[in-house]
Amino acid sequence: MILIHSGIHFNAMLPWAATAFMLIVTASGHVGQYLLKQVREEVKIKMKQLGLEVTEDILERQHYWDILTLKTLEQWRTLHIPMVSVLMALTLIHILSITFFLNWR
Amino acid sequence: MKVLLFVFIASAIILAALAATFPEVLLNPGPLMKSHQKLEKKCLSCHEPFAGVTSTQCIRCHKQADIGVRKVSDIVLSKDTAKALFHRGVIAASCIDCHVDHRGIDAAKALKSFKHEALSQVRQKECITCHQNKTPRNALHQYTKGQCSECHTTSRWKPAAFDHNRYFPLDGNHTANCAACHNEPGNYKKYTCYNCHEHSYSLMVRKHEKEGIVNFQNCMKCHRNGNREGQGREGSGDKDDD
């Protein structure tokens, strides 16, 4: 959709950088999603081993704290969050430049 | 959250600065035409902020009366009457109706599909000025004196709105020029069949009276196919005369 919206131009760097970053951030988001799933599974197994009853509510709370403390997710966040910021900046400048140069009448 | 905000603001400032310094790399949607190459970094030469490209910007360099006559750099061009005449005929400040840029160095690619509305009212009626190679030579057009637009549209030549065969076939027996039948100049709704030797008025009166037909002024009513024998002959009592 993004490529169709741009008319697939191959010249201006800014929109292409924004598109590339969007793909990178999307890929990074999927990595984060995978890590979360792994954490969830790990918590489930650990709680079973400890003989605790696993309900969705307990799992969610436990899960939340584990996410914040888990080293792998922290590392992922340190990379993912700045990339999201750069993508937002690229998108903003892209929209501003289009608004500035295009004829809207 | 702080990191997100900081990186966002820092990136936005850096990107904005880069875009302002190197617009030809970061923002340029396509190469400018050869004669505009020197404007690659000067976006505002053509673009008005938040208004896009306006013809007013074009006219600052390209004076309408000079197009096809002299270059922007004041060099007098070799005679290109058609180009000069054409541009004098278009509505003032309508450059962007036809011209664009950022489509490569070849200026011929930087044209939109032509709209006749960009021409002045007078020029719109002078089709042959531009369509010289399309001057029709067939029997129907050979003697026409009217405007092309009476039958043709500006979107395409064919189909034309007019098909003479719908009214009367111009077959082997009727290859006369337009004026032979349409003797009121420019008014093709009116016709007469009495302008030729075979259909003289006195002969027609004689022939029709012999058949008992009194109302024969509207020839097409019975002789639409151009044959001698009429279809649905009128009787003497028929009052329809249109």
Residue A35 within any structural domain of the chain: yes
- The pLDDT, as a whole number, for residue B242 is 35
Q: Do A12 and B26 touch (CB under 8 A)?
A: yes
A82 CB neighbours in chain B (<8 A) are 3-4, 7
Q: How far apart are CA B152 and CA B150, in angstroms?
A: 6
CB pair distance less than 8 Å for A14 and B27: yes
Boundaries of domain holding A67: 2-6+15-99
Quick check: pTM over 0.80?
no
CA-based angle B178:B227:B236, to the nearest 5? 105
Residue type, B77: L
pLDDT class for B63, splitting at 50, 70, 90? confident
Residues paired with residue B90 on neighbouring β-strands, in sequence order: B119
A95 contacts chain B (CB < 8 A): no
Q: Considering only A58-72, B96-110, B218-232, which range has the smallest mean pLDDT?
A: A58-72
Q: Which residues of A touch B50 (CB under 8 A)?
A: 99-100, 104
Which member of B4, B15, B53 has the closest CB to residue A90? B15
Supply the pLDDT for residue B239: 39
Domain membership of residue A105 (yes or no) is: no
Phi, psi at B119, each rounded to 5°: -80, 155
Our CA-based measurement puts residue A17 at a distance from the nearest CA of chain B, in whole angstroms, of: 9
> Does A99 reach chain B within 8 Å, measured CB to CB?
yes
- How long a stretch of residues is chain B? 242
* ipTM value for the complex: 0.74
Quote the tokens at residue B45: 């030469």
**Alpha helix ranges (H) inside B90-142:** 95-98, 121-124, 127-130, 139-142
Distance CA B181, CA B188 (A): 9
| B138 Cβ contact partners less than 8 Å away, ≥ 6 residues apart | none
Answer whether residue A104 is part of any domain. no
Residue A36 covered by a domain = yes
The pLDDT value recorded for residue B236 is 39
* Chain A residues inside the 8 Å CB shell of B28: 11-12
A31 domain-assigned: yes
Q: Which residues pair with residue B99 across a beta bridge?
A: B111
Amino acid making up residue B58: C
The C-alpha atoms of residue B15 and residue A86 are separated, in whole angstroms, by: 10
Question: What does the pLDDT look like over B78-87, one tens digit per residue?
Answer: 776 777 878 8
CA distance A66 to B211: 112
Residue A65: per-residue pLDDT: 66
Neighbours of B22 (CB within 10 A): 13
Long-range Cβ contacts of B85-92 (<8 Å, 24+ apart): B85/B129, B86/B130, B88/B64, B89/B119, B89/B120, B89/B122, B89/B123, B89/B126, B89/B129, B90/B64, B90/B118, B90/B119, B90/B120, B90/B123, B91/B118, B91/B119, B91/B120, B92/B59, B92/B64
Asked whether residue B184 carries a pLDDT value surpassing 80, the answer given is no
B163-177 pLDDT tens trace = 777 788 887 778 777
Domain count within chain A: 1
Q: Confidence class of residue B241 from pLDDT cuts 50, 70 and 90?
A: very low
List of E strands, B146-207: none
Is residue A41 a part of any domain in this protein? yes
Q: Which residues of A89-100 are buried (b: 16+ CB within 10 A; e: fewer)?
A: bbbbbbeebeeb
CB B46 within 8 A of CB B101: yes
In chain A, positions 69-88, which contact chain B (CB-CB < 8 Å)?
Answer: 81-82, 84-86, 88
Paired tokens of B64: 């309408």
| Nearest-angstrom CA–CA distance, B19 and B25 | 8
Instruction: Tell me the DSSP string of B55-103.
Output: HHHHHHHS-GGGTTTB-TTSPBPPP-HHHHHHHHHBPTT-HHHHB--SS
The B residues from 22 to 51 touching A (CB cutoff 8 Å) are 25-31, 43, 47, 49-51
- Count Cα atoms within 13 angstroms, Cβ side, for B197: 1
pLDDT in tens, chain A (105 residues): 777 776 666 678 888 899 899 999 999 999 998 988 887 787 778 777 877 766 777 777 766 666 666 677 788 888 899 999 999 999 999 999 989 988 766
Of A65-69, A90-94, B32-36, B149-153, the one with minimum mean pLDDT is A65-69
pLDDT tens string B122-148: 778 888 777 877 777 766 676 666 678
Nearest to B142 by CA among B92, B189, B178, B96: B178
DSSP string, A20-61: HHHHHHHHHHHHHHHHHHHHHHHHHHHHHHTT----HHHHHH
Torsion sign, CA atoms A79, A81, A86, A90: positive
Rg over alpha carbons for chain A, rounded to the nearest Å, is 20
The residue of chain A nearest to residue B26, with distances taken between CA atoms, is A13
Structure tokens at B101: 């840029």
